[in-house]
Amino acid sequence: MAASRPRVAILFGGVSTEHDVSVVSGASIARSIDTDRFDPVYVGITKEGRWLLGDGAFDALRGGGTEGVEPVILSPDPQHKGFVHIESGRLTGVDVVFPVLHGPRGEDGTVQGLLELAGIAYVGCDTLASAVAMDKDVTKRILAQRGIPVVKGTCLTKWMWGVDRGEILSEIAQTLKPPFFVKPATMGSSIGVSKVEDGEELSGAIEHALGFSSKVLVEQAVERALEIEVAVLGNNEPKASVCGQIIPKAAFYDFNAKYVDGTSELVIPARIPKALAQDIQYAAVDAFVAIGGSGMARVDFLVSGAAFYLNEINTIPGFTSISMYPKLWEASGIPYTHLITKLIELAIARHEEKASLTRTIDLLVKA
């Protein structure tokens, strides 16, 4: 039995500002993964980008020293699938990696690209879908092309802002109505996001957001928006969970409301009409397909009356047992441990599907 259990590396931490959130998600998965089915190993990435493997990985990332961990690197060579221990040269082979990394250099396709090179199955979206979803500007363009409603707004780069901020501000004044939401294109956890009541505060908010990403979105605020989230699961036939709703106590769902004061309320199912909920579920799956998603994503909407706008797609959503993504599946009939199993199975299925593709044209050349 033991020999046939696939070895699954839970990969958490990371160099992004969402490091701490990732450690909590990773620890939660480690506690609940079905150990009759899988043989878990733990790999923590420190804020400096060192990869540490071992049972002490969670403690090590929480500042508890390096007891029970060894520094490793992921082998990009598919003949040696797994983690090479830097000091001993030993290989810890793995069959599947479960990346639980939020934000840039984890959720944005970079780690996924490394795993592609390594030839190791991994949970969640591939390189392209991850990179698209990490960039809110590119996501919105793809969704708009698909006919999925997105919030009206504009996008500017650090370079454009440096060259002609006057032109940018006057264009915004002519095309968008305040209040505005200003946000970095490639961050999460509401980092760098501000609500701006009028044009006067706009420059400061743009400068602030440009500190986190070289591309910034300025959007018209959806006033008194309901925050509705849907969990999507699957590869070729993705399914949507019931809709959930977040009721933040703050002015909007900012970093504090998400992680610090803990007063935001999660309501499942969302208190919205059934027909609207169905439209949103449909749009969530449609968006997932449009970006080429696989495995999982949490798709977030802003709802105002009967109108809904797709706000963002998170390819590695918060994954503690009380996070929205697992809660939505629990309410839709898939308990937490089973969800983890399902995601690992989906990772293996997609890997096998890819492995069956023709990679060389030897036969054609010989013919």
Ligand X SMILES: Nc1ncnc2c1ncn2[C@@H]1O[C@H](COP(=O)(O)OP(=O)(O)O)[C@@H](O)[C@H]1O
**Interacting residues with ligand X (CB under 6 A):** 151, 181, 183, 187-190, 193, 219, 221-222, 225, 227, 252-253, 300, 302, 311-312
Closer CB to ligand X, residue 220 or residue 281? 220
What are the Cα distances from residue 4, in Å, to 35, 36, 38, 91, 354?
12, 10, 9, 19, 22
Closer CB to ligand X, residue 33 or residue 225? 225
Closer CB to ligand X, residue 157 or residue 304? 304
> Which residue's entry shows tokens 């199912």?
269
Can you tell me the distance from the alpha carbon of 211 to that of 277, in angstroms, rounded to the nearest whole number? 36
- 3-class DSSP state for residue 253? coil
Closer CB to ligand X, residue 50 or residue 298? 298
Closer CB to ligand X, residue 17 or residue 332? 17
**What's the closest the beta carbon of residue 151 comes to ligand X, in angstroms?**
4
Cis peptide before 269 (omega within 30 of 0): yes
Sheet holding 51-53, edge to edge: 91-93, 82-85, 70-74, 51-53, 39-45, 7-13, 96-100, 121-122
**What's the closest the beta carbon of residue 343 comes to ligand X, in angstroms?**
21
Length of the chain: 367
**What's the closest the beta carbon of residue 309 comes to ligand X, in angstroms?**
7
Which H/E stretch holds residue 341?
helix 336-355
Can you tell me the distance from the alpha carbon of 182 to that of 357, in angstroms, rounded to the nearest whole number? 43
**What's the closest the beta carbon of residue 223 comes to ligand X, in angstroms?**
7
Closer CB to ligand X, residue 187 or residue 240? 187
> Which residue's entry shows tokens 């939660």?
28
**What's the closest the beta carbon of residue 273 comes to ligand X, in angstroms?**
20
**What's the closest the beta carbon of residue 251 comes to ligand X, in angstroms?**
9
**What's the closest the beta carbon of residue 243 comes to ligand X, in angstroms?**
15
What does the CA dihedral 143, 149, 150, 151 come to, rounded to 10 degrees? 170
Closer CB to ligand X, residue 213 or residue 281? 213
Paired residues of 92 in beta bridges = 83
